């Protein structure tokens, strides 16, 4: 199989996704692969075929290749832990801009640790507590912090949002991308999202269980006034202000959808 044929195969089979696949697999764009010309080595062709089959079966590329680009980091990913989304970078940006100097923040439901890692990297004055109920998530978070030389500024703890909040230290702010998909939408998830853990996606019948709980249970955790930055679903911008006893601001992601909710007491 020539590189030219690989180029045509990728673009025909994956359409818009071909560029992402190509970067993961070849570490360059489809046009660069075509330019390579000539016969591809047999082991490359074999591996290409295997990875392509997995993608076509609905397996997320981030699980196949083991990482996701996020903000300006490469975040390790594995099945069982939610894949970082570009939409979440808006939350990171807001935190980098608005956390008070020297803040301690909690990344609740930290998953891969992508939020904490990106914020710690760009705000060297801050420290973090990363918390999640999933052992796989806590392991990945530790690795992602270590790989970016940030582990000295973060603790990582097992934590159930619906359990005991006394295990957390006092913080200045909470950053949180909780599970927020409602029951009806869980039934309509695309195949690749179904490969991700339901416990990281499902937010209860109306999708708002984690917000209700975190807003009420966090009352005693702040050193000063409450300060929470949540990621929310594109259709939850009206619901969040109704749940919060404090002023609440909604901001959009790059696609123009409501995406984060900033609560400040």
Distance CA 255, CA 200 (A): 22
Q: Does 264 bind ligand GLN (CB under 6 A)?
A: no
- Shortest separation between residue 93's beta carbon and ligand GLN, angstroms: 16
Options 193, 217, 239, 250; binder of ligand GLN; rule CB under 6 A? 193
Options 30, 60, 113, 179; binder of ligand GLN; rule CB under 6 A? 179
- Shortest separation between residue 85's beta carbon and ligand GLN, angstroms: 5
Options 134, 144, 177, 244; binder of ligand GLN; rule CB under 6 A? 177
Q: Does 180 bind ligand GLN (CB under 6 A)?
A: yes
- Shortest separation between residue 106's beta carbon and ligand GLN, angstroms: 16
- Shortest separation between residue 109's beta carbon and ligand GLN, angstroms: 8
Nearer to ligand GLN, 110 or 181 (CB): 181
Options 130, 201, 208, 240; binder of ligand GLN; rule CB under 6 A? 201
Q: Does 113 bind ligand GLN (CB under 6 A)?
A: no
- Per CB under 6 A, the segment of 149-157, 176-184, 211-219, 237-245 that binds ligand GLN is 176-184
Q: Does 181 bind ligand GLN (CB under 6 A)?
A: yes
- Among residues 148, 98, 107, the alpha carbon closest in space to that of 129 is found at 107
Q: Does 70 bind ligand GLN (CB under 6 A)?
A: no
- What residues make contact with ligand GLN under the rule CB under 6 A? 85, 177-181, 193, 201
């Amino acid at each position: 199989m020539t590189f030219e044929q690989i180029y045509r195969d990728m673009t025909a089979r994956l359409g818009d996704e071909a560029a992402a696949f190509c970067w993961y697999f070849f570490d360059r764009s489809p046009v660069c692969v075509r330019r390579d010309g000539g016969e591809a080595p047999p082991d490359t062709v074999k591996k290409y075929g295997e990875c392509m089959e997995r993608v076509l079966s609905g397996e997320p590329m981030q699980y196949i290749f083991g990482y996701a680009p996020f903000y300006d980091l490469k975040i390790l990913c594995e099945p069982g832990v939610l894949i970082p989304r570009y939409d979440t970078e808006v939350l990171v940006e807001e935190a980098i801009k608005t956390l008070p100097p020297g803040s301690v923040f909690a990344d609740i439901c930290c998953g891969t640790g992508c939020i904490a890692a990106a914020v710690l990297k760009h705000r060297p004055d801050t420290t973090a507590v990363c918390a999640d109920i999933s052992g796989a998530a806590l392991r990945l978070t530790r690795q992602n912090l270590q790989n970016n030389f940030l582990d000295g500024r973060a603790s990582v703890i097992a934590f159930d949002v619906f359990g005991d909040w006394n295990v957390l230290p006092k913080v200045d702010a909470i950053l949180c991308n909780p599970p927020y998909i409602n029951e009806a939408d869980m039934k309509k998830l695309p195949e690749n999202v179904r490969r991700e853990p339901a416990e990281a996606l499902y937010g209860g019948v109306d999708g708002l269980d984690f917000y209700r709980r975190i807003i009420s249970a966090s009352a005693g955790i702040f050193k000063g006034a409450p300060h929470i930055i949540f990621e929310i679903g594109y259709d939850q911008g009206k619901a969040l202000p109704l749940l919060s006893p404090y002023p609440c601001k909604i901001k959009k992601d790059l696609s123009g959808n409501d995406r984060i909710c900033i609560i400040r007491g």
